[in-house]
Structure 1
Amino acid sequence: MVRPMRSVTAVLILSLVVAAAPAPALAASHRHEPTTATVTGPIPGAVPGDRLADRVEDTYPFFSTPVDLAAAGYVEEEFSLSGTADGWSTTGERVATAVPYTTRVIVRRPASPLRFNGTVLVEWQNVTAGYDLDALWNPDTLLRAGYAWVGVSAQRVGVDQLRGWSPARYGSLDVTGGGAYTTDQLSYDIFAQAGAAVRAGDLLGRLRPRTVLAIGASQSAGRMTVYYDRVLPQVAPVFHGYAFIVGTAPTRVGTEPVFQVLSETDVRTPDRPADTDRFRRWEVAGGAHSGYAGQVYRRPIQDRDLGGAPEYSCDRPPFSRVPMHHVTAAAYRHLEHWVRRGTPPPTAEPLRFNADGTKARDALGLALGGIRLSQVSVPTALNDGDNTGETFCRLFGSYQPFDRPTLDRLYPTRLGYVARVAVADVRNIASGYLLPADALSNAREAATPTP
């Protein structure tokens, strides 16, 4: 059992040796430059605190992470961002100019420049659930790699919920121009101005970014798609590259590279765009739009800030345990290199479909094709991206552990199972779909007997 892990370690170390190079400057453009926003903060207050208090100092940021950031050499800070924003329709028509706004951004970053890898991930926070959700904040992978992460509250639904959650802290926020623009017409320019503030270093303390990437999941990816396809051709570029996770991606061929990562849940047709030198699409077998890792991370935060985590009654046991965040971590690394060196990410086989348009599956029910992490290629459970039932069940996928006879048939010995996991992970490292540290995590998990 020890030897396979040493072998994995050697491959991992070699695969992490990369040359550091600064990101190229964004191309000069005659397009409209974003207005400079005013940054105020950091805003005082931190967990633990009383969100019902009438003083800002006695509150804390909504959905503040419970992770021990200090132990990782990180800090969490919240700022207000204010200025004037232009408004845009979803078809790319400018519908307003210089509308005043004030919103918030939350920053989780290395405390020291020595801990910083030079890249900032600027996330368009998701509001599908009715509140700001840091859907792509994955502490295991982001802290380890030294990223700075910035969450932007760009949309009315999220800001309205913040105002009600803590009037003392958020009562002055408004992204609607006093109620004149209630369908998020200002959101595109607000997001861009947040990115410009990141590039200027106004939100990062002593850190100086080399690469600024825009990221968004699900509904936020849809908003970013509108921005990239309809708005960006008319304004000066702010971000070096874009990652569209479990959501739509642009159809326009632009200068800035686009990386789309989809779970099995999100792939519903065999029709898909082709990869190009500016666009890459990965599809992850067994992955869910909203899987197990995110649910486990968010539950204590929902208990703290919302009074309880939601419960779901789905038709199949919910929450695929295929770690989509391992694939997005690899995608971020490739997107960095794409921007800095001009090297496109590796391609990946798409998920397979039958002639009748249904997803092709093996005898165990697992999807065929796609990126196949060891949780799928060396399975101990049926993880898939499909489910039905109430509310969000269709986004959760399913997790159904194999019974003991099935496990004994597939893996006569635990050592054999662990070795197969290591081989699968090394293959995915070599293909560029998995980072070495995540392979080591898989190896440790595989070597730990289940109760």
Structure 2
Amino acid sequence: MLASPVPADVAAVGYVERELAAAGTATAYRAAGELTADGRWAFEPAGTAPYRTRVVVRRPATAERFSGTAVVEWLNVSSGHDADVVWASNHEEITRRGHAWVGVSAQLIGVAGGPVLASPVEGADAPGLVGTDPERYGSLVHPGDGFAFDVFTQTARSVRDGTLLGGLTPRLVLAAGQSQSAYAMVTYVNGVEPLVRGLFDGYLLHSRGLGALNLAAPGEPAGLHALTATSPALVREDTGTPVLIVQAEGDLNQVLHSLGSRQDDLERVRTWEVAGAAHADQHTVGPFADLLGCGVDVNDAPMHVVVKAALRALETWARDGTPPAASPRIETAGGEIVRDRDGIALGGIRTPPVDVPVDVLSGVPGPNPSVICQLFGSTTALPAARVAELHPSRAHYLARYTAAVDRLVADGFALAEDREALLAYAQPDRIS
């Protein structure tokens, strides 16, 4: 069972899905020294404990279709359930390329349940896999989130040697996580990567926050209110493995406050910032967006199209050393995003609906103060008079919009395969 924003019909694209148990003895870590803001952390073992968790594998049905790349996702538990958010953004790219995907139930809450961080019912406890279906998952055991990093490592080793992929042996193994799972990836790169160097060939961090996931005590879940998560933490500049960070406008100064950990591009660390995008959006929840009660239409930017390009760029970087395109940064002043007269953020990667607008796409949320609504940003229609001022005719609008699509592809922030998906975001019927 996955709380998937995009339910997987893998058979339709020549894939198989398997749900497996992964068991062993995991090691917890403690910091050997201060967790400094520069991310140059040193971890050491802090005890062991048995575990038995759930792993979901989606892979090509035949060896001939396998690309040789495996994406290992740290499943997101902010909703109280394991969610495959990286898969949701990237499933078209993963399946058309023939990659394998492995989702790891790495954290305590996903397995055994616990407090919900982002839900319409905040503060509620989720039952986890064990509580949801005791007959199916009752044998699962999680010793706490301090052990989650080694659970992820051990799963990745079983991916690399082909054990979890039905005998398919990857040449590249990429780690990925979004939101809370991206916090975990920061901790992993800064403290665990130096201990397991060579296990992963690249890291995709989608929507990281200010800090990193803490090393929780045995039996405890990690917390995004912990000091480690709320203190600035850069990705260490001396990492030997490529790290691509993809940030939405809404990540910078809403709930995640990642602006405080913005860093310059380095030899092995690159950041993409997407103007007009929110931490979560219409694509994330699909038809359930109207049920959130945010008091405004949630953000409908094509963030997922940029994330697919990021996965391709990371794969290329890991395979042959060609780094991703350099992203312009969203303009800020005094810790705030600089906006044009319409309220649209300046700078950053600009998708066609942002560059040729009929709506204001923004990371700024609606009036509902709930955490979940703060993450979903907003879509606000421009006044008809302003639309007419910007776009004197449908032909003019479509010509500019199509040029913006082609520019995004040429710049490397969208894939040619997704050109039609971007064109589908055009709204010529809004032009009189």
TM-score normalized with structure 1 length? 0.77
Cα distance in 1 between the residues matched to 2:265 and 2:427: 37
Alignment of 1:166-205 (within 5 A): 166-176=133-143, 182=144, 184-205=145-166
Residue 402 of structure 1 pairs with residue 391 of structure 2: no
Please list the CA deviations of residues 353-376 of structure 1 after superposition, one character each: whole Å capped at 9, or x if unmatched. Answer: 13x332111111100000001010
Following superposition, the deviation at residue 334 of structure 1 comes to 1.0
Regions of 4+ moved over 6 Å: none
Cα distance in 2 between the residues matched to 1:235 and 1:435: 32
Cα gap change, 1:329/1:448 in structure 2, threshold over 3 Å: closer, same or farther? same
Cα distance in 2 between the residues matched to 1:330 and 1:310: 28
Alignment partner, residue 372 of structure 1: 350
State percent identity of aligned pairs. Answer: 41
Cα distance in 1 between the residues matched to 2:241 and 2:343: 38
Asked if the contact 1:320–1:384 (Cα under 8 Å) also holds between the matched residues in 2, the reply is: yes
- SS at structure 2 position matched to 1:446: coil
Residue 337 of structure 1 pairs with residue 341 of structure 2: no
Asked if the contact 2:2–2:84 (Cα under 8 Å) also holds between the matched residues in 1, the reply is: no
Which is greater in Rg?
A: 1
* Structure 1 residues not aligned, in runs of 5+: 1-60, 177-181, 300-308
Residue 244 of structure 1 pairs with residue 205 of structure 2: yes
- SS at structure 2 position matched to 1:242: strand
Alignment partner, residue 258 of structure 1: 243
- SS at structure 2 position matched to 1:287: coil
2:276 to 275, 286, 311: 286
Please list the CA deviations of residues 374-409 of structure 1 after superposition, one character each: whole Å capped at 9, or x if unmatched. Answer: 010011211101215113221111111224333333
Alignment partner, residue 122 of structure 1: 72
Cα distance in 1 between the residues matched to 2:181 and 2:99: 20
Asked if the contact 1:428–1:434 (Cα under 8 Å) also holds between the matched residues in 2, the reply is: yes
Letter of the structure 2 residue corresponding to residue 166 of structure 1: D
Following superposition, the deviation at residue 251 of structure 1 comes to 2.5
Please list the CA deviations of residues 218-243 of structure 1 after superposition, one character each: whole Å capped at 9, or x if unmatched. Answer: 11111121121112223343111101
Asked if the contact 1:127–1:158 (Cα under 8 Å) also holds between the matched residues in 2, the reply is: yes
Residue 156 of structure 1 pairs with residue 136 of structure 2: no
Cα distance in 1 between the residues matched to 2:130 and 2:109: 10
- SS at structure 2 position matched to 1:321: coil
**Relative contact order, CA 8 A, sep 6+: which one is greater?**
1
Letter of the structure 1 residue corresponding to residue 189 of structure 2: Y
Cα gap change, 1:238/1:310 in structure 2, threshold over 3 Å: closer, same or farther? farther
Following superposition, the deviation at residue 62 of structure 1 comes to 3.7
Letter of the structure 2 residue corresponding to residue 104 of structure 1: R
Letter of the structure 2 residue corresponding to residue 140 of structure 1: E
Cα distance in 2 between the residues matched to 1:378 and 1:310: 25
Root-mean-square deviation (CA), in Å? 2.2
Residue 111 of structure 1 pairs with residue 78 of structure 2: no
Asked if the contact 1:313–1:390 (Cα under 8 Å) also holds between the matched residues in 2, the reply is: no
Cα distance in 2 between the residues matched to 1:259 and 1:127: 22
- SS at structure 1 position matched to 2:85: coil
Asked if the contact 1:62–1:162 (Cα under 8 Å) also holds between the matched residues in 2, the reply is: no
Alignment partner, residue 273 of structure 1: 263
Cα distance in 2 between the residues matched to 1:234 and 1:155: 20
Cα distance in 2 between the residues matched to 1:244 and 1:117: 22
Cα distance in 1 between the residues matched to 2:97 and 2:358: 29
Alignment of 1:52-451 (within 5 A): 61-63=1-3, 66-89=7-30, 92-97=43-48, 99-138=49-88, 139-160=91-112, 161-176=128-143, 182=144, 184-248=145-209, 250-268=235-253, 269=259, 272-296=262-286, 299=288, 311-314=291-294, 316-354=295-333, 356-387=334-365, 389-446=369-426, 449=429
Please list the CA deviations of residues 140-187 of structure 1 after superposition, one character each: whole Å capped at 9, or x if unmatched. Answer: 3333333221110011111011000111111111121xxxxx3x1110
Following superposition, the deviation at residue 289 of structure 1 comes to 0.6
Cα gap change, 1:201/1:224 in structure 2, threshold over 3 Å: closer, same or farther? same
Following superposition, the deviation at residue 345 of structure 1 comes to 1.0
* Structure 2 residues not aligned, in runs of 5+: 36-42, 113-127, 210-233, 254-258
